[in-house]
Amino acid sequence: MKLVLDAMGGDHAPSINIGGAVDALRLYPKLKHLFLVGDQAVLKEECARQGLDLNDPRVSLVHAPEVIDMCEPGAKTVRRKKLSSINVAMDLVKDGHADAFVSAGNTGAVVASATLKLRTLKGVDRAGISTAIPNEYGLCSILDAGANPEAKPEHLVAYAVMGTAFARHVLGVKAPRVGLMSNGEEDEKGTAFTKETFKLLKATPGIHFIGNVEGTDLFETELDVVLCDGFTGNVMLKTVESTAKAVSKWLKAEIIASPLRMLGALIAKGAFTALKEKSSYETYGGSPLLGVNGVVIIAHGSSSALAVRNAIRVGIETVAHRVNPRIEEALAAICKPAVVGN
Amino acid sequence: MKLVLDAMGGDHAPSINIGGAVDALRLYPKLKHLFLVGDQAVLKEECARQGLDLNDPRVSLVHAPEVIDMCEPGAKTVRRKKLSSINVAMDLVKDGHADAFVSAGNTGAVVASATLKLRTLKGVDRAGISTAIPNEYGLCSILDAGANPEAKPEHLVAYAVMGTAFARHVLGVKAPRVGLMSNGEEDEKGTAFTKETFKLLKATPGIHFIGNVEGTDLFETELDVVLCDGFTGNVMLKTVESTAKAVSKWLKAEIIASPLRMLGALIAKGAFTALKEKSSYETYGGSPLLGVNGVVIIAHGSSSALAVRNAIRVGIETVAHRVNPRIEEALAAICKPAVVGN
């Protein structure tokens, strides 16, 4: 199990990346080798600062002189900055040196580089990002969270199959429940796009399609995969994040408004800490880019070392559970249904 | 000022509707007359139960034998149930007996009935629902929240003008800031739909367009109107609602997990109450359906009496501030720019 980490990706690179690497090397025995990709001088200094021993045979430093900034246009910049950490790292996966790539960098650039260099799996037209959020029953994955903003109905059918494979083999859900995000639960609700997708999903074997779902279902319905185009998924995820942030910010403001309330909150502190842990993306770590011919895990741009470490864990699990071969098998089964009898 | 209330609309009708009516009649001196529309026998009993005096000259009961259920397909049912409370109430506005209509009933049916009976304002192709959520700076209106799921770019231009008029004249914002919901803040982000809309908005006079915004901006950016198609708006709003609900539910669960935490929460109780009030849609009450030739306010299906009362308040303010004439003026100014000089 060899992984490659984009040591320059994310808002707080390279310190959180190296921090996550140190923890991952200590915690995950399955991780046999970790490539750190980025500017050699910068990384050497950061590794020294955080006590990451570059003589450790499990660690290699791979030089990449360029960095793609978080706000640069992804696809364009990937073609221009050929020696960026994202491209150099992706080549390691493409050439078989590494089994998976983890990046907290520019999402658009990671998607573009992965699609260009690794290509998509057989039967897959467009890759999709699967981002998990915690709900009452476990984890609910939003697919696509932003790779493919103008998705076609067929893309969502492949997402349903890929999301099912990931939930089943990595998250351990026996029969993952798949819903289609719409503006109402009734079958006839939605746009021309969701209605066509609904029809295709109804006819797709091997998935457990429960029909249309709404924003209100995200947390309260037993739901493992929520399908949507990448525009809707991106808006939804950022809305979840900002709402949760606003609620806790306002609660904090109300608490510090009075010394008595502050005392009460101090006494109940454990509850706030537990909530923070449950609702933090750091705990879930990384979102797999499903559908490319290789394992690519995208971490949040504002990731902490904990989030990077958990993204590495997701990468390890995705490789270990052979998610891609299983996706290809499942898609092959849809395209060529076994003829039984006549 | 004469208003008509759909006394049968909503999950808890007619009790919350009559409760809201009682409070509105007591609290809003501008409200000179209130028509209550619904099944006469049912309403008489409910009014008696809640002490609403039907001999009050400010109150009229208007019989409507049919009710459109919350889960019926809106547009179809409006055509079939001609004597539903929604249709009978809308006729009172259409025929000039009432200045505004307030309903917590089936949103699709209210939109369809309003569009059929009242028609749209001059210069408006499609009506849009403007739903306000509280943010750091005041209220941020999501427009469209669900009336027009497959909007065209031109529709969003009219929404920008209407949202600006509503924020300026009803909410008292001097120069309302208008953003376009996208999957990134950079100008070039988005789908073909949002990119075309962006171009049109840039060229629209009389609005303060601040560019693309993301889900993360909803609560933290100074933003008065967020434009989007009705599908995205609906998904977003329900996501905000369910996220806030999940966060408080999980916090409650963590608190009751230990007697000490419960004690702390009891001491800090004021903070929770204040937060609940700030974040509850009940406080904001109703969402205007902007663009129809009449004032129509849509309240949440699970409205309480407080939410109904506040929706009536929004109706009164929308009429009092002459929002529709101002929208027509603003749209006319765009279509025929005044030629100054040569």
Residue B340 maps to a domain: no
Whether residues B136 and B110 fall in one domain: no
How far A227 CA sits from the closest chain B CA (Å)? 13
Cβ within 8 Å, pair B242-A268: no
Residue B156 to residue A311: CA distance in whole angstroms = 39
Q: At A208, is the pLDDT very low, low, confident or very high (cuts 50, 70, 90)?
A: very high
Measure the CA–CA gap between A253 and B270, rounded to whole angstroms.
12
Task: State residue B339's pLDDT score.
Answer: 52
Lowest mean pLDDT among A88-102, B89-103, B249-263, B265-279: B265-279
Is pLDDT at A342 greater than 50 in this prediction? no
Residue tagged 């797999």 (tokens): A288
Q: Is A234 on the interface with B (CB under 8 A)?
A: yes
Select from B282, B302, B337 the last residue of a domain.
B282
Read off the CATH number of the domain in which B165 is found. Answer: 3.40.718.10
Give residue B341's pLDDT.
45
Tell me the pLDDT tens digit for each residue of B297-325. 999 888 899 999 999 999 999 999 999 99
Least Cα distance to A100 among A328, A315, A317 occurs for A315
User: Is A335 among the domain residues?
Assistant: no
Q: Are residues B110 and B160 in the same domain?
A: no
User: pLDDT tens digits for A254-296?
Assistant: 898 899 999 988 898 888 888 888 777 667 779 999 999 999 9
**Of A257, A256, A254, A307, which is closest to residue A284 (Cα–Cα)?**
A307
A43-65 average pLDDT score: 96
Evaluate if residue B175 carries a pLDDT over 60.
Answer: yes
pLDDT over 90, % of chain A: 78
Using a CB-CB distance cutoff of 8 angstroms, which residues of chain A are in contact with residue B182?
Answer: 231
pLDDT given for residue B284 in this prediction = 72
Residue B342 binned pLDDT confidence (cut-offs 50, 70, 90): very low
| pLDDT at position B278 over 80 | no
- Tell which wins on pLDDT, A338 or A127: A127
Express each pLDDT in A63-119 by its tens digit. Answer: 999 999 988 988 899 999 999 999 999 999 999 999 999 999 999 999 999 999 999
Query: What is the arithmetic mean of pLDDT over A159-187?
Result: 95
Residue B289 pairs with which residues in a beta bridge? B129
Verify that B212 and B252 share a domain, yes or no.
Answer: yes
Q: Are residues A211 and A301 in the same domain?
A: no
* Chain A residues with beta carbon closer than 8 angstroms to that of B237: 215
Residue B330 lies inside a defined structural domain of this protein:
no
- Summarised one tens digit per residue, pLDDT across range B63-110 is 999 999 988 988 899 999 999 999 999 999 999 999 999 999 999 999
Average pLDDT over residues A126-135: 95
What pLDDT does A341 receive?
Answer: 45
Q: Is A16 on the interface with B (CB under 8 A)?
A: no
Query: Does the residue B65 lie in any domain?
Result: yes
Task: State residue B248's pLDDT score.
Answer: 87
Q: Does A60 touch chain B (CB under 8 A)?
A: no
pLDDT of residue A336: 58
**CB of A220 less than 8 A from some CB of B:** yes
Number of domains in chain B: 2
Return the closest-CA partner of residue A237 out of B77, B186, A229, B39.
A229
Question: Which residue of chain B is at minimal alpha-carbon distance from A241?
Answer: B216
Q: First-to-last CA distance in chain A?
A: 45
Residues B88 and B212 occupy one common structural domain = no
Question: Do B73 and B194 lie in a common domain?
Answer: no
Q: What is the pLDDT of residue A339?
A: 52
Q: Could you tell me the sign of the dihedral formed by the alpha carbons of A151, A157, A162, A164, in that order?
A: positive
B181 and B296: one domain? Answer: no
- Same domain flag for B119 and B4: yes
Q: By residue range, what is the domain housing residue B185?
A: 125-282
Mean pLDDT, chain A, whole residue set? 93
Q: Is B294 left (phi over 0), alpha (psi -120 to 50) or beta?
A: left
Percentage of chain B lying above the pLDDT 90 cut: 78
Residue with tokens 């609602």: B241
What confidence category does residue B242 fall into, taking pLDDT thresholds of 50, 70 and 90? Answer: very high
Asked if B235's CB is within 8 angstroms of A215's CB, the reply is yes
Residue A340 has pLDDT above 80, yes or no: no
Residue A212 confidence (pLDDT): 97
Check whether residue B218 and residue B308 sit in a common domain: no
Task: Find chain A residues with C-beta within 8 A of B274's C-beta.
Answer: 254, 257
Same domain, B129 and B265: yes
Residue of A nearest to B186 (CA): A71
B144 occurs within a structural domain: yes
Q: What is chain A's percent helix, strand, coil content, to nearest 5?
A: 50, 20, 35
Cα nearest neighbour of A270 on chain B:
B261
Separation CA B45–CA B188 (nearest Å)? 59
Q: Is A187 on the interface with B (CB under 8 A)?
A: no
pLDDT averaged over every residue in chain B: 93
Would you list the DSSP string of A107-161? HHHHHHHHHHHH-BPTT-SS-EEEEEEEETTEEEEEE-SSS-TT--HHHHHHHHH
Residue from B106, B191, B214, B235 to probe the interface with A (highest A Cβ count within 10 Å): B235
Q: Same structural domain for residues A100 and A21?
A: yes
Q: Are residues A242 and A201 part of one domain? A: yes
- Asked, for residue A338, whether it belongs to a domain, the answer is no
